[in-house]
Every structure is written in structure tokens, then in C-alpha cells.
Chains A and B, each alone.
Chain A
Amino acid sequence: MNAVAIIQNIGTQVIDINTGFGNSVIFLVRSIISMFKRPFRFYLFLTQMLQIGVNSTIVIALIGIFTGAVLAVQGEYTLSRFGATGFIGSAVALSLIRELGPVLTALMVIGRAGSAITAELGIMKITEQVDALKSMAVDPIKYLMVPRILAGTICMPLLTGLFILIGIFGGYLVSITLLGISSGVFLTQMFAAVSMTDIYSGFIKATAFGFIFGWVSCYKGHTCGFGARGVNKATTQSVVTSSVAILVVDYFLTSILTRFFLN
């Protein structure tokens, strides 16, 4: 390949990525505008809350309890070198609230519900169900996308809260039963270390992740290509894109929020 071809290739890719991003922003703006237009289909939103939220609780609880337990064991290993095992309660709670809760919950929900949303919307598109909605004067963005984006944005912080609570409980159980930390020390240290700003910042992150999750999953379904292969590609891209986007956004949000809240 000569130099011109290489540059051309890179150029095309850059243009593709930018067009894709631009289109997804237009899609998002359209979704947000139609959120505020009548009719409001509350039952569709509730259905999605059930699919994304309620149906994810068990898996979130399971992961939460083991994450908390692992954090306690790892924390004890590190803190015991400094003779500071008393701080284990704050270590577990702060890591869960500020970082692991929002991120692990988001990754779990993406794997479970994000792929499902993209596949469902993609199949609806290639089987002409989306065209059928249009033909009945129903806006598919409003009917299909808005309830999912909204439910994602609202479910994610709720699931994150659940993850964190159960995670702390897991860490507590392991600490007092296996690691010999007293319950009083664990709880006192935890309440002393965790401030409201930690909780806010965890909550803001989770909400942002939920929004990104809904946006990406719906957009990838909306732009799904033809056939089983099209759905396959859309689903994979949906999971990869939202996971990467969430970790990137996590870095920036953490930097901003730390600066903003700690000063």
C-alpha cells in the first residue's frame, strides 16, 4: 500500500467515526425532544423499568455481595501491613460508593440489558416493525427509544444503590466473621469516612452511565444492518461501545467531581 492509500484509509475511518458520532447526537437530540411531547406512554416506561431494572436485581445483588467480600479480604491484606485494619470499613464503603458500585453495575447492566435492547430493536427494524409503526403514524423514536433511554437513566442509579448496600453488607460479613474485625470498629470507621459528597458523586456517575447505556443501546439498534449478521454486529458494537464510553466518561467525571467536591 502506498502512502496516499494509507492516508486515504485513515481519512475515511476518521470521517466514518465522526459521522457516526454526529448521527448518534442527532438521534439523541430527537429522542430528548420527543420525551416532552404527548402522548406519554407510561406503561411502556414501566415495562422497560421491569426489563432493565427489576430483572437485573438478582444478578446485581450477587455480584455486589462478592465484590464487597473481596474488597474486605484485599483491604485487610493491604491495611494489615500498616497495622490499620481498623480502616477496613471505610475502605470497603468508599471504593464501592465512589468507584466500583457505579462502574461494575453499569458493566453488568450493559452485558445483560444493553445487548438485549440492541438485539430487540435491531430485529424490529429488519423485520419492518419499525416501518409499520411509522405507517401507523407512530414515531418509533418516541415509542421505542424514549422509554428505554429514560428507564436506563433511572434504573442505573437505583441498581447502583442496591449494589453498594449489598456490597457493604458482604464486606461487613467477611470482616467480622472471618477477618476478626469488630462490628463497632467497622461501622464507626465507615460512617466517619463516608461523606455526602461521596454519595453524590457516586450517584451522578451512575446516572450518567445509565444515560450513556440507554443512548448507545438504542442508537445501535436503530442503525442495525440487515440480516442476522447485522444484528450480531450491532449487538457486539453496542456492548463494546457503551463499556468503553462508560470507562472513559468515568475517568473525566472522577477528575471533575473530585476537584469540584473536595475543594
Chain B
Amino acid sequence: MKVISIQNVSKSFGTQHVLKNVSLDISQGETVAIVGPSGVGKSVLLKIIMGVMQPDSGKVEVCGENITIANSEAEKNEIRENLGMLFQSAALLDSLTLYENIAFPLIEKGKFSKNQIHKKVVEIADSLSLISNLQKLPQEVSLGMRKRAGMARALITKPKVFLLDEPNTGLDPLVGQEVYELINLSKNLGDFAGIVVSHELPEVFQVVDRVAMLLNGGFIAIGTPEEFATTGEPAVKQFIEGKIDGPIRIQ
């Protein structure tokens, strides 16, 4: 079964065509890494999947339901119950402590007791080494910690699908490894599917089943990590090896 189906999505800002007829399917239990140079529209694509940004054309189905035509926020919210998202900027609510931020989705669901919530928050915070900073406000901790709290907030409801926008940026290698372990753990626990946007090549390959590279408004290569690591495609090769010379021009 497809949990996410992106069909011919296009998005422009003024004269800048960021996404042109992008399509991608993700099946149950599958994790896909989206990679590509800065500014190609990775974050834009995630926001379109989440329904917080409207595409110019095309549609996105989440668990079989079309989020792009849902016309009321209530309808969209029903679809969003399946999703958990980490924003690139973490986007924690800055009037709440890290603890309250992580607990927020559970409190809003209203199905859990205070004790249950506390247990879940502590458990996930522990796996991300956040315990000692839970009572601080987002502006009092480093970006790396905000990212981890955002990650905890996205995963605490055990969504069917997670969308992680650069979960590792701003993290040191040790904590970065913790994040990958949490992703792996979540996958094994809940049979989750998801998208991980990342610049961390080849580290991100260890948690994903497929890799898709976005360039010039479309996916130029989609394949398993092994295929990616050994590809002959010049743009992909250039990107993985981090060379200045090649088909990709740095803008």
C-alpha cells in the first residue's frame, strides 16, 4: 500500500519554478531520503505534503486521502493525524518549555493521562539525551537541542508517516548517531514510513530504503542506497563526492 503518493506536483514562487511535475510514491514501511543541493525545494515539498503549502498543480495523497484538495482545515487535520513533521527550523512553540513542546501533540489529542504523557516524554527525551534540558525554553538551548526536541515532538504520537527535514543538521556526530538510531528504532517498532531530508551523505543511507535526488525541479535519480553509492550518473556522483566541478552549478 502506498502511504504517500506525490503526483505531478508543481510549485513556483513568482518566476522561480521550484518544483516541476514531481512524482514519488512511498509504500508502507519504507523510508526514503530526499537529497539535493540547497534551495532545490526539499523543504517546500515537505510542506506541500503536510498541507501547509498549496501546490500550483498536482496532488498529494497521504494514506489514500488527497490533502491538496481538502478544503477545510478540519479535513486537513484529519489527514494530518497520520503525519509527524520535524521542520528544518525545528519550529518549537517558543512560549513553552522543551517538555511542554514534546508533550504538546499528546496533550492536544486529549486521549492520555498526565502520567502516561510524562512517561512517554521522558522515554523519548532520554533516547535523544534531552533529559537535563527539558525545563528550558527553546531560545535557551542550542539549535541541535531544538532539533532533537522537534524530532521528539514529531515522533511521540507514533505517526504512520514521518517527515524529517534535516534531522541531523546542527548535531555533533555522537548525537547525530542517536538520531539515526531513534529513526531505526521507530521504524522497527511501528512499521513507519517516512521521508528524511538530509545533506548527510552517505550517513543517512543507513536508515533509508531508497534515496531520491532532487535537482532542477525534479527527481533526477531514485534508487537504493547501494545503487546511489555506485552510480554512474554524473550529477549524483558529483553531489555524493562533493566536487565543485560537474553538471550541478552552485547557485
Contacts and interface: CB of A to CB of B under 8 A. Distances in A.
Physical interaction between A and B? yes
A128 B87 contact: yes
Contact of B52 (A39, A127, A134, A141): A134
A131 B94 contact: no
A132 B93 contact: yes
Interface size range of chain B in the complex: 20 to 34
Nearest to B157: A136
B92 interface: yes
Interface in B87-144: 87, 89, 91-94, 104-105, 108, 110
Given A136-B105, A139-B73, A131 B81 contact: no
B176 interface: no
Central interface residue in A124, A134, A139, by most chain B CB within 10 Å:
A134
* Among all A-B residue pairs, the 9 with the closest Cβ atoms: A132-B91, A128-B91, A137-B77, A131-B52, A135-B85, A137-B80, A136-B105, A134-B52, A135-B50
28 contacts: A39-B110, A124-B93, A127-B89, A127-B91, A127-B94, A128-B87, A128-B89, A129-B91, A129-B94, A131-B50, A131-B52, A131-B87, A131-B91, A132-B92, A132-B93, A134-B76, A134-B77, A135-B50, A135-B52, A135-B84, A135-B85, A136-B80, A136-B105, A136-B108, A137-B77, A138-B108, A139-B74, A139-B77
Contacts, number: 55
Contacts of B20: none
Contacts of A128: 87, 89, 91
B135 to A, nearest CB: 19
A24 to B, nearest CB: 18
A18 to B, nearest CB: 23
A131 B85 CA distance: 10
Interface string B63-77: 000000000011011
Contacts of B89: 127-128
Contacts of B93: 124, 129, 132-133
Contact of B80 (A39, A134, A141): A134
B50 A134 contact: yes
Contacts of A131: 47, 50, 52, 87, 91
Given A127-B94, A131-B52, A132-B93, A137 B87 contact: no
Interface string A137-150: 11101000000000
Contacts of A132: 85, 87, 91-93
Interface of B: 47, 50-52, 73-74, 76-78, 80-81, 83-85, 87, 89, 91-94, 104-105, 108, 110, 153
Contacts of A136: 80, 104-105, 108, 153
A39 B105 CA distance: 14
Given A131-B47, A136-B105, 19 more contacts: A127-B91, A128-B87, A128-B91, A129-B94, A131-B50, A131-B52, A132-B87, A132-B91, A134-B73, A134-B76, A134-B77, A134-B80, A135-B52, A135-B87, A136-B80, A136-B108, A138-B77, A139-B73, A139-B77
A130 to B, nearest CB: 8
A138 B74 CA distance: 9
A135 B52 CA distance: 7
Nearest to B46: A135
Given A128-B87, A131-B47, A131-B87, A137 B94 contact: no
A139 B51 CA distance: 13
Nearest to A30: B73
Interface centre among B80, B81, B84 (most CB of A within 10 A): B80
A257 B104 CA distance: 46
B144 to A, nearest CB: 17
A109 B176 CA distance: 47
Interface string A73-99: 000000000000000000000000000
A134 B104 CA distance: 12
A128 B93 CA distance: 9
A133 B76 CA distance: 12
Nearest to A138: B108
Contacts of A139: 73-74, 77
Nearest to A141: B73
Given A131-B47, A131-B52, A137 B108 contact: yes
B47 to A, nearest CB: 7
Contacts of A138: 77, 108
A139 B73 CA distance: 7
A126 to B, nearest CB: 10
A39 B108 CA distance: 9
Contacts of A39: 108, 110
